[in-house]
């Protein structure tokens, strides 16, 4: 198994934001939104942690156009947030999606403030992911849904190179490097299960959901 190699926590240059936003995440985002909506208990607002350029919140609103779904989306990267606000406005969703700057390690929100908490690919950016996971647990109301997906660290370099070649085949060199760095920074299934066990969640709430992802889907414990 590859050792975990941390990448930068905040991707906050204009080039990084543009390259991230330009990558084709459409299939992954569509699947994430559909799978969350299948387990969502219709409690709002929903908090999206590490929203990046707000692609998933926008996809959620497309798949669930009813106004009972509203979202607060947070990130710490100013250039990502600037693109997120542009994307939300362009989609005509400023009344349903509120974009805020916040640290994934210290949410400025009250305990049990959200009906659900979602996140896609933020955990691998956090040096100590247990802090972020505990914050997600804290701000989710009892009975609410926690739905978190992230990359799964490959077992070795050949597997990593194969995944970069497969899933970033049409990307530029910087985008391919970002993906490779993210894979090296990701957790294993055993590591994420151990962290969630400390919060009282059973191992089977976390599953490998693709060759390169794990997904945590659980009802918030009281």
Q: What is the pLDDT of residue 22?
A: 67
Q: What is the pLDDT of residue 8?
A: 75
Q: What is the pLDDT of residue 49?
A: 98
Cα dist from 9 to 75, 83, 129, 159, whole Å: 11, 18, 11, 24
Domains and CATH numbers, the chain: 14-219 (3.40.50.150)
Average pLDDT over residues 61-68: 97
Q: Are 149 and 121 in contact (CB under 8 A)?
A: yes
45 preceded by cis ω (within 30°)?
A: yes
pLDDT at 24 over 70: no
What is the per-residue pLDDT across 150-205, written as a single tens digit (0 to 9) for each?
999 999 999 999 999 999 998 999 889 989 999 999 999 999 999 999 999 999 99
Q: What is the pLDDT of residue 126?
A: 96
Q: Which of 57-61, 78-82, 129-133, 137-141 has the lowest mean pLDDT?
A: 78-82
């Amino acid at each position: 198994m590859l050792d975990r190699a941390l990448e930068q926590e905040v991707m906050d240059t204009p080039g990084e934001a543009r390259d991230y936003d330009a990558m084709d995440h459409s299939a992954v985002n569509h699947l994430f939104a559909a799978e969350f909506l299948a387990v969502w208990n219709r409690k709002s607002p929903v908090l999206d942690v590490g929203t990046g350029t707000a692609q998933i919140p926008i996809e959620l609103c497309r798949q669930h156009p009813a106004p009972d779904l509203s979202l607060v989306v947070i990130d710490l990267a100013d250039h990502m947030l600037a693109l997120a606000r542009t994307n939300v406005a362009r989609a005509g969703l400023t009344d349903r999606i509120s974009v805020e700057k916040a640290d994934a390690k210290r949410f400025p929100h009250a305990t049990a403030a959200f009906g659900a908490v979602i996140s896609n690919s933020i955990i691998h950016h956090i040096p100590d992911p247990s802090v972020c996971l505990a914050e997600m647990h804290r701000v989710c109301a009892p009975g609410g849904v926690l739905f978190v997906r992230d990359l799964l660290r490959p077992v070795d370099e050949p597997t990593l190179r194969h995944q970069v070649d497969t899933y970033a085949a049409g990307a530029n060199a910087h985008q391919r490097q970002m993906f490779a760095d993210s894979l090296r920074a990701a957790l294993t299934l055993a590591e994420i299960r151990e962290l969630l066990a400390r919060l009282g969640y059973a191992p089977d709430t976390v599953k490998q959901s693709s060759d390169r992802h794990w997904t945590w889907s659980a009802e918030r414990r009281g």
